[in-house]
Chains A and B, each alone.
Chain A
Amino acid sequence: NAGVTQTPKFQVLKTGQSMTLQCAQDMNHNSMYWYRQDPGMGLRLIYYSASEGTTDKGEVPNGYNVSRLNKREFSLRLESAAPSQTSVYFCASIERAYLYDGYTFGSGTRLTVV
């Protein structure tokens, strides 16, 4: 089925470890986004890529880096994980934001940092 695929679905890290969350979409969308979801705070934008070759910071970028590897793939890297990064991470894509289409979301990655 067409959509946004995130891997892994679950991950436990120790403080200071690094990891990369992978996201791929097969809808030929131009824009891709990484959000984190925390209880009572809704979804907050970490980074986004409006088009292939560009990335921009969102509301909460500290402690993260991203790579838009190609049009399909947008990865999120935690260089030195901290307990405050325990969250559920969602990747989303959209053909072009100004066309008013809604996001297509992945199913999420549940990350726990101990």
Chain B
Amino acid sequence: AQSVTQLDSHVSVSEGTPVLLRCNYSSSYSPSLFWYVQHPNKGLQLLLKYTSAATLVKGINGFEAEFKKSETSFHLTKPSAHMSDAAEYFCVVREDTGNQFYFGTGTSLTVIP
């Protein structure tokens, strides 16, 4: 069975410092993994996705994530936080058959000026 654990419900960083949002997954087979961002009162937007082509995945707005099979992790990083990065971030795993996606509980990122 698939599941996703986001290890931090809230993360605060200062503007210009690195961002690390942690995600661990459980999947029977080689998973498809995604990160989404949700700004306040908005829908969810795809940041990046892992589909086995490369372990380091680059996304929009300077974000990237590294797939580590040995650690069953897919952590999201950004070298330098910007005020506009303040949002809710969701890690998502796709079911093996492809019909369902499972969401983590989300990590709220605060960026301090």
Interface residues of A, Cβ cutoff 8 Å to B: 4, 31, 33, 35, 40-45, 48, 50, 56, 58, 90, 92, 96-98, 100-103, 105-108
- The residue in chain A whose Cβ has the minimal distance to the Cβ of B34 is A102
**Does B9 have its Cβ within 8 Å of any Cβ on chain A?**
yes
- Contact at A42–B90, with CB atoms within 8 Å? yes
Interface residues of B in 26-78 (CB under 8 A from A): 32, 34, 36, 41-46, 49, 51
Interface pairs (6), CB distance under 8 Å:
A42-B90, A42-B104, A97-B99, A98-B98, A103-B36, A107-B42
- Contact at B94–A42, with CB atoms within 8 Å? no
- Contact at A44–B103, with CB atoms within 8 Å? yes
- The residue in chain A whose Cβ has the minimal distance to the Cβ of B100 is A45
- Contact at A103–B44, with CB atoms within 8 Å? yes
Interface residues of B, Cβ cutoff 8 Å to A: 9, 32, 34, 36, 41-46, 49, 51, 90, 94, 97-101, 103-106
- The residue in chain A whose Cβ has the minimal distance to the Cβ of B101 is A103
Closest A-B pairs by Cβ, 8 of them = A98-B98, A102-B46, A97-B98, A105-B43, A42-B103, A100-B51, A43-B103, A42-B105
Q: Across the interface, which residues of A come within 8 angstroms of B49, CB to CB?
A: 100-102
Give the distance in Å from the alpha carbon of A103 to the alpha carbon of B92 in the complex. 11
- Contact at A102–B36, with CB atoms within 8 Å? yes
- The residue in chain B whose Cβ has the minimal distance to the Cβ of A110 is B41
